[in-house]
Amino acid sequence: RRLSESKFSNPHFYETIDVDMESAIAARKKLNEVSEVKISFNDIVVKAASAALRRHPDVNSSWLGDKIRKHGDVNVAVAVAIDEGLMTPVINHSDKKNLRQISVETKELAGKARDRKLQPEQMEGSTFTISNLGMFGIEEFTAIINPPNACILAVGAIRDVPVVKSGEVVPGKKMKVTLSSDHRIVDGAKAAQFLNTLRTMIENPLAMML
């Protein structure tokens, strides 16, 4: 019901950007060599999005009917597929957590979602949502905004593609992400600026640590 209301009452628009994943792949490999908790690509996206949200408060906002609320906290919801549909557990203060903390919390919340053990408070208070279908081989899609969030990020699969480097065509790794935005809150330029910051964070993993 909530998603139907969102789709038909919120003026959605969509912007897609292609992200070079080579540095993120290398960073993840090195992290997982020393980390007790395995870091996923989704964990990297959550961390990068959280850092980008801190820099773009308009994207980290909600529509309240007659006004816009810019949130002081960054609380990222992660869509989890279950037989009956989707659940969106929330990682609170995700911008203040490291990759290990995000990984542990995401795995725990996803497990509770699949076991139908999520508490209501674990699905409340999100300021942004991420939906990742890359593990299913989906290269690109658009997601419906999770109200009252201003935006939702749809994450596709990492693809093997030819890229041009130093004038030569070489093998590369790319990943498409699509931002669905509520035009009452976020305009096209602000969405594009957020996506460019997000891409910078993922393509330069050290940047999200700053």
The catalytic residues are 183, 187
- Tokens 């480097």 sit on residue: 165
CB 130 within 8 A of CB 42: yes
β partners of residue 165: 168
Q: Which residues are within 8 A (CB) of 205 and not within 5 positions of it... i.e. 6 or more apart?
A: 23, 24, 27, 44
DSSP code of residue 94: G
Nearest 5°: the CA angle 183, 76, 42 is 105
- Tokens 């919390």 sit on residue: 105
CA distances from 98 to 37, 75, 101, 122, 203 (A): 12, 14, 5, 19, 17
> Mind giving me the DSSP string for 35-76?
-SSPPPHHHHHHHHHHHHHHH-TTTSEEE-SSSEEE-SS--E
